[in-house]
Structure 1
Amino acid sequence: MTARAPAGRARWIEGWNPEDEQFWESTGKHVARRNLIFSIVSEHIGFSVWSIWSVLVLFMSPEIGLPFTASEKFLLVVTPNLVGAVLRLPYSAAVTRFGGRNWTIFSSAVLLVPAGLACYFVQQPGTPLWVFMLVGATAGLGGGNFSSSMTNITTFFPQRHQGWALGLNAGGGNLGVAAVQVVGLLVIAVAGGTNPAYVAAIYLPLIVVAALCAALFMDNVDAVRARPGALREAAANKHTWWISVLYIGTFGSFIGYGFAFGLVLQTEFGFTPLQAASWTFLGPLLGSVSRPVGGWLSDRFGGGRVTLWAFAGMTAGTGALLFASSRGSFAMYLVAFIALFVLTGVGNGSTYKMIPAIFAKEAEDAVTDGGEAVAAFSRARRLSGAVIGIAGAVGALGGVGINLAFRASYGGEAANGDAALLVFLCYYVLCALVTWAVYLRGSRGSAAGPQSVEARSKAEATRA
């Protein structure tokens, strides 16, 4: 079927089939790339708003009438992290109900609420913590954008290009964490450490631009629509939960460290806001850039293998952090933390690449057993989108765990982050074992292998 875009304001494209190579080369790739660009813009702003309190807490001090403790600040950054994680599942489902373009317009425009509230309240001396927690909770709206964006973009690209496309989409969005920290650094450098409202104010016009770009340049496609029960069907599949466990370790670490990095440097080394902000953007920046690399490596070597390498590296990096902490070496601590960010980015890309490969393998097995090809591969795409939403939500909860662990660790008798780091190290070892046992041991490794994925993509296009 040839895709067509009917006239009218809804802008629904019908008959979308990126696995048809002729359609993809003539029309599909141009439409897909345009939607990818403006999806990245929206997701980028969403991540910035979601993580804005990781910057605003650096300003909070008795000097501006907000004398919160380190423990209270960690609690404040946990709040938007938790809300954003919870919203990811309904955001993913909303795309299948309302369409990618329509939902991107709404999810971008609604960010005016958390940005506007932050702009006002952060300059009000004496505001109690519970008010800031409520305002911070609204910033969680930006965290939901990731799942809706990924669910939408995965339908635009054929499976053979999904690793790179999803990596770019997610990496461009993840860069929002680094961008808001750069904005915070510039505000401190130019206006001093007593004007946190400027950070939020800068994002108000950018949010409007993102919503307008979505309205003008994005499309809805019929392929994104899911049959009722897709999430329920995905929840009953064991791979949904194995992938979620791995994504807690990769994305949960990325977003958790992104929220906590500045506070960790302030607490661990007694840094001023300017000193902390001078370094905090580096980790999220490099972690975001490395995410497409993880997708690209997975296209070549298989998502399972790359994910295993990433967890092995994260285990070593966390060990290096513990060693640096025992020596009190800032330089060593910084290098190890940035290496962790890079490895979480690679693992983010590789773990998400595993999702369509796993369900394509299930579809291929169903066809081999006599099942109908179109129905089998249609189910695979439907489940892939649903699992992206579930894993994205569960994985983001890992960021909550990261910040709660740091809060408990720094509030304990030792008053350092070593106890938290030891917990993280053990979890990375567990994830490495799960990756090997479930996806790489014996013949099951084919579910994440690059050659079988390419073959299945061609088979799907031929049978469809």
Structure 2
Amino acid sequence: MLALATIGFALTFWAWALLSPLGASLREQLSLTAFEQSLVVAVPVIVGSVGRIPVGALTDRLGARRMFPTVALLTVLPVLYLGHFADSLAGFLVGGFFLGLGGTTFAIGVPFVNSWYPPERRGLALGIFGAGMGGTAISAFSTVQLAEALWPSFPFDLVAVVLVGYAVVSYGLLRDRPDRQVPSGSMLSRLAGTLRMGVTWQLSFLYAVAFGGFVAFSVYLPTYLTTQHGLERGDAALRTAGFVVLAVAMRPVGGWLSDRMRPDGVLTAAFAALTVLAVAASFEFPLTVARTVVFLGMAAALGIGTGAVFALVARLVPAERVGAVTGVVGAAGGLGGFFPPLVMGLVYGGMHDYTVGFLLLAATALVAGVFTAIVVHRRVATGA
């Protein structure tokens, strides 16, 4: 069940990230400004994020066996539209809006995986599932290369075929835990109850910083590398894929560490490392080995942080509310990734420099680390 959920998450995230590697090409093709280019790649992020709220609540009620194949099939439609029919800024914004549906499957998989594992193993299990966010790496590695080697719509055609295949397989093989707790009441009443829980808002803030940082880099790093350091698009896409792969690989590590020590301590350390590394990145020295190490260090910190946040979800949230809470927390994480690319685009458009953007990241990570060390530490210690 864990393998099926992880594969489904990776494939739908692959679809969700299709536009990001093409940002530079779309800018030339459609004569976009830096802000418009950022908007095109950011729209699927915000829609996929907000969409996790109803999808998480529906998963609590309907189960993953219904939700995974349904969302996979629905995502095929915008994928094909973008590959064959979108030819303007408005067209790509509309297609990107519906492509955001692919980003909602996170809220399906977390409660599903959580239900199959005992508390002492949930950190690692959720970390392994979370590694499915490596679907963005598949996109970074393959989209530009396949479009140039074959034909422009081929990456979209391939993803559509793969999603249909997964929908069929998952409907036949996925099984919800027989004794899973199905919540009562309407979706709106359950959502209102979820929003009244203080832990929902606390975890949402932390995930907005950790996962939001990952999403922002995976979306905007190709643009940063081409504009600031003059790399070719293919080279920038491959380097971004390396960043994503490391962050993905470290997510299970964050969950594993959280199973063996306090997850709030793991998260505090991750935010502390991110603060220091973001300050280092603000000094715009050439793209040498040292600068590469700085960016890879940020990838590792973000990956560990995302794993630790959902170890906290498994520890602090009642089982019957995990889907609803995951929807809200996951939405916050995606929204956290929506704004930084826009900020970076505006900063570069006005100053032709990214220093301010990295300093803002450092300040945000510092606040999140202090909040974790004080407020979340107290909640974990008391079990409240």
TM-score by length of 2: 0.94
Aligned residue for 2:35?
Answer: 71
**Code of the aligned partner of 2:260:** R
Choose the corresponding residue for 2:98, options 116, 138, 146.
Answer: 138
Deviation at 1:447, TM superposition (A): 5.3
2:3 paired with 1:37: yes
Unaligned runs of 5+ in 2: none
Structure 1 position 48 matched with structure 2 position 14: yes
Contact between 1:121 and 1:132, CA under 8 Å: does it hold in 2? Answer: no
User: How many angstroms apart in 2 are the aligned matches of 1:106 and 1:432?
Assistant: 38
Q: Measure, in 2, the Cα distance between the counterparts of 1:43 and 1:355.
A: 18
The alpha carbon displacement at 1:445 in A equals 4.5
Aligned to 1:411: 349
Letter in 1 for 2:292: L
Residue in 1 that maps onto 2:218: 258
Q: Quick check: 1:214 aligned with 2:164?
A: no
Instruction: Supply the AA of the counterpart residue of 1:190.
Output: A
| Paired positions, count | 380
* Residue in 2 that maps onto 1:399: 337
Deviations 1:106-134 (A, max 9, x none): 01111211210121136xxxx32111111
Deviations 1:302-353 (CA, angstroms, capped at 9, x unpaired): 1100000100011011012112x1x233543332222212211100000110
2:225 & 2:358 partners in 1: Cα distance?
Answer: 14
Describe the shift of the 1:118–1:334 C-alpha distance in structure 2 as closer, same or farther (beyond 3 A).
farther
Counterpart Cα distance in 1 of 2:382 and 2:169? 37
Q: Distance in 2 between matches of 1:333 and 1:199?
A: 31
Check 1:224–1:199 CA distance in 2 against 1; reply closer, same or farther (3 A cut): farther
The verdict on how the C-alpha distance between 1:190 and 1:131 changes in structure 2, with shifts beyond 3 A counting, is closer
Instruction: Tell me by how many angstroms 1:84 deviates.
Output: 0.6
The residue number in structure 1 matching 2:47 is 83
Label 1:154 to 1:447 Cα distance change in 2 as closer, same or farther (>3 A). farther
Mapped pair 1:383 → 2:329: no
Bigger shift: 261-270 or 426-435?
A: 261-270
Tell whether 2:247 aligns with 1:310: no
Q: Whole-Å Cα distance in 1 between the matches of residues 67 and 39 of structure 2?
A: 30
1:423 pairs, out of 351, 360, 381, with 360
Amino acid at match of 2:173: F
Q: Give the whole-Å Cα distance in 2 for the aligned partners of 1:332 and 1:389.
A: 38
Aligned-residue CA RMSD in angstroms? 1.9
1:95 aligns with 2:49: no
Deviates more, 1:211-220 or 1:293-302: 211-220
Who is 1:19 aligned against? none
Secondary structure of 1:200's counterpart equals helix
Structure 1 Cα separation of the partners of residues 271 and 80 of structure 2: 39
Q: Distance in 2 between matches of 1:340 and 1:170?
A: 17
| Mapped partners of 1:149, 1:398: distance in 2 | 20
Distance 1:40 1:402 in 2: 27
Unaligned runs of 5+ in 1: 1-34, 360-379, 449-464
CA 1:189–1:282: 2 relative to 1, 3 Å: farther
- In 1, the alpha carbon distance for the partners of 2:223 and 2:291 equals 14
Q: 1:447 to 1:189 in 2, by over 3 A?
A: farther
The alpha carbon displacement at 1:79 in A equals 0.6
Task: Report which structure shows greater RCO (CA 8 Å, sep ≥6).
Answer: 2
Percent of residue pairs identical: 26
Judge conservation of contact 2:34–2:346 (CA < 8 Å) in 1: no
Q: What's the offset of the Cα at 1:415? A: 1.1
2:182 is the counterpart of 1:225: yes
Contact 1:80 1:137 (C-alpha < 8 Å) held by counterparts? yes
Bigger radius of gyration: 1
Q: How many Å separate the matches in 2 of 1:165 and 1:154?
A: 8
* CA distance in 2 between partners of 1:168 and 1:329 (Å): 31
Distance in structure 1 (CA, Å) of the matches to 2:158 and 2:107: 25
Residue in 1 aligned with 2:119?
159
Q: Which deviates more, 196-205 or 220-229?
A: 220-229
Moved more, 156-165 or 422-431: 156-165
- Cα deviations by residue, 1:39-74 (Å, 9 ceiling, x for unpaired): 111111111111111012233254xx4332332211
Query: Are positions 1:203 and 2:164 aligned together?
Result: no
For residues 330 and 142 of structure 1, what CA distance do their matches in structure 2 show?
35
